[in-house]
Amino acid sequence: MQMPSPNTAILARKAELAAKLSTVLPQDALIQDEAETRAYECDALTAYRCPPMLVVLPRTTQEVSDVLRVCHQMGVPVVPRGAGTSLAGGALPTADCVILGVARMNDVLETDYDNRIIRVQTGRTNLSVSGAVEEEDFFYAPDPSSQLACAIAGNIAMNSGGAHCLKYGVTTNNLMGVTLVMMDGTVVEIGGAHLDAGGLDLLGVICGSEGQLGVVTEATLRILRKPEGARPVLIGYDSNEVAGACVSDIIKAGVLPVAIEFMDRPCIEACEAFAKAGYPMCEALLIIEVEGSPEEIDHQLGLIIEIARSHNPVELREAQDADEAGRIWLGRKSAFGAMGQINDYMCLDGTIPVTELPYVLRRIGELSKQYGLGVANVFHAGDGNMHPLILFDANKPGDLELCEDMGAEILKLCVEVGGCLTGEHGVGVEKRDLMLHQYSPEDLEAQLKVKDVFDPQWLLNPAKVFPLSVTEGRRAVELIK
């Protein structure tokens, strides 16, 4: 993976930049010391690291605006950072950039249960948004696996999803308004407590733009009343094909569970060894959760179980109580940790049409043999968002590269069958160079034009999302006095 070489003219002006930033920020909001900036050298894609030139940690929208204005005037690239949990390298610095972290901006600004919204500063963590409205039995629906740590800013930048988005949608479906600071320091308000913006859907294009169009400092989010209850059922099959057919039949029958999770044998074995959740050893495991009152849950699970039985499951376990429900989820929720115990792994995030599931799993198995690297599959089956985990040995020379090559093959396969490179993690640097497999140069040009409008000098997170060769002419910005 390549990153642009740092601009030496910018590096030479580090002291001048720091001096200017110190006039607009409190002393503790500017980090210059190399030992301290190193803490920001990577996000959750830890294979790639590069300490930034400077780090700023503003507390207000005004401070964010001032920082961006200064950087804009000096032509310094800025990489926005939420909580640094990106698996795609979305917050990976370059040596000549300023990291703008929003972690200190974590206030709840307004909760309004009558209108079912909450307004927060975007450094607030995903789970603590729900925490802020829990007393009144409300919650914020998007639930990425990293929800304990990840920030709303990053959720908006990556349009994060989660296990329950089959019913509740992803971030973009739950975002009603933002305060956006543009690269030149201009602050704009988009959307708000009312539905559907009047003009162009700028909110829609900002969500998922990976911090390349502006820095979102405040967000109005939709909150929902919690369901009366939820209960999962666990179903095991002796083939991936049959499990896939079961998922499709459930959806066709008009039942819409809140979550349908799928694990294959390597994943089941790893989870079982790690979490001892009591999973059956079989080829494919489904965890399906429905919500409602106890009677509504009984009815929906009844329909699901009837369909599941028609496909001859090797195991069918309905949670009888909260404890059993917890154990059903235990293995799935610890899947990533479990894999990490046995191996280094790379987590992919392609999406495929659910009907292609059996074919894609078979092809992944073949690729696994071809590359000699193990793969465990765990994914959101209801919406086709796959998370193949490729196992490799970071200490073995060449293994990471082999793993990346195989990952690229799997993602190309996702595109080939009508899917996409990333369902919820974002492109970042990780999938940047695969973009031309999904989009033609003309398709990408249309996206680049949007960045040209919001950030004409290409200073915001410029080395992400698009292949460097495609953005080269645009990133070569001149320093402004």
Number of residues that bind another protein (CB under 8 A): 93
Asked whether the beta carbons of 83 and 422 are under 8 A apart, the reply is: no
Among 99, 202, 233, 470, binds another protein (CB under 8 A): 202
SS (H, E, C) the chain: CCCCCCCHHHHCCHHHHHHHHHHHCCHHHEECCHHHHHHHCCCCCCCCCCCCCEEECCCCHHHHHHHHHHHHHHCCCEEEECCCCCCCCCCCCCCCCEEEECCCCCCEEEEECCCCEEEEECCCEHHHHHHHHHHHCEECCCCCCCCCCCEHHHHHHHCCCCCCHHHHCCHHHHEEEEEEECCCCCEEEEECCCCCCCCCCHHHHHCCCCCCCCEEEEEEEECEECCCCEEEEEEEECCHHHHHHHHHHHHHCCCCCCEEEEEEHHHHHHHHHHHCCCCCCCCEEEEEEEECCHHHHHHHHHHHHHHHHHCCCCEEEECCCHHHHHHHHHHHHCHHHHHHHHCEEEECCCECCHHHHHHHHHHHHHHHHHHCCCEEEEEEHHHCEEEEEEEECCCCCCHHHHHHHHHHHHHHHHHHCCCECCCCCCCCCCCHHHHHHHCCHHHHHHHHHHHHHHCCCCCECCCCCCCHHHHHHHHCCCCCC
Locus of tokens 């666990």: 234
Among 228, 306, 401, 405, binds another protein (CB under 8 A): 228
Judged by CB under 8 A, the stretch of 19-27, 97-105, 156-164, 334-342 that binds another protein is 156-164
The answer to the question of residue 135 lying near another protein (CB under 8 A) is no
- CB nearer another protein, residue 129 or residue 360: 360
| 11-70 positions binding another protein, by CB under 8 A | none
The answer to the question of residue 340 lying near another protein (CB under 8 A) is no
The answer to the question of residue 295 lying near another protein (CB under 8 A) is yes
Among 292, 365, 374, 467, binds another protein (CB under 8 A): 292
Mark residues 393-432: x for contact with another protein by CB under 8 A, - for none: -------------------------xxxxxxxxxx---x-
- CB nearer another protein, residue 26 or residue 418: 418
Tokens of 142: 């998007």
Among 45, 158, 268, 339, binds another protein (CB under 8 A): 158
Mark residues 243-282: x for contact with another protein by CB under 8 A, - for none: -----xx-xxxxxx--------------------------
Judged by CB under 8 A, the stretch of 126-134, 231-239, 325-333, 380-388 that binds another protein is 380-388
Among 352, 364, 367, 375, binds another protein (CB under 8 A): 352
| 457-476 positions binding another protein, by CB under 8 A | 465-466
Judged by CB under 8 A, the stretch of 37-45, 93-101, 190-198, 281-289 that binds another protein is 190-198
Judged by CB under 8 A, the stretch of 13-21, 201-209, 272-280, 394-402 that binds another protein is 201-209
Among 173, 311, 408, 412, binds another protein (CB under 8 A): 173
Tell me how far apart the alpha carbons of residues 161 and 141 are, in angstroms, rounded to a whole number.
Answer: 9
Asked whether the beta carbons of 236 and 314 are under 8 A apart, the reply is: yes
- CB nearer another protein, residue 55 or residue 182: 182
The answer to the question of residue 326 lying near another protein (CB under 8 A) is no
Among 5, 199, 320, 321, binds another protein (CB under 8 A): 199
Judged by CB under 8 A, the stretch of 18-26, 92-100, 331-339, 382-390 that binds another protein is 382-390
Among 38, 49, 265, 299, binds another protein (CB under 8 A): 299
- CB nearer another protein, residue 37 or residue 155: 155
Q: How far is the CB of 478 from another protein (least distance, A)?
A: 21
The answer to the question of residue 369 lying near another protein (CB under 8 A) is no
Locus of tokens 């009984």: 298
| 98-117 positions binding another protein, by CB under 8 A | 112-116
Q: How far is the CB of 97 from another protein (least distance, A)?
A: 21
Asked whether the beta carbons of 278 and 315 are under 8 A apart, the reply is: no
Locus of tokens 């039942």: 255
Judged by CB under 8 A, the stretch of 101-109, 124-132, 361-369, 383-391 that binds another protein is 383-391
The answer to the question of residue 314 lying near another protein (CB under 8 A) is no
Among 452, 469, 472, 479, binds another protein (CB under 8 A): 452
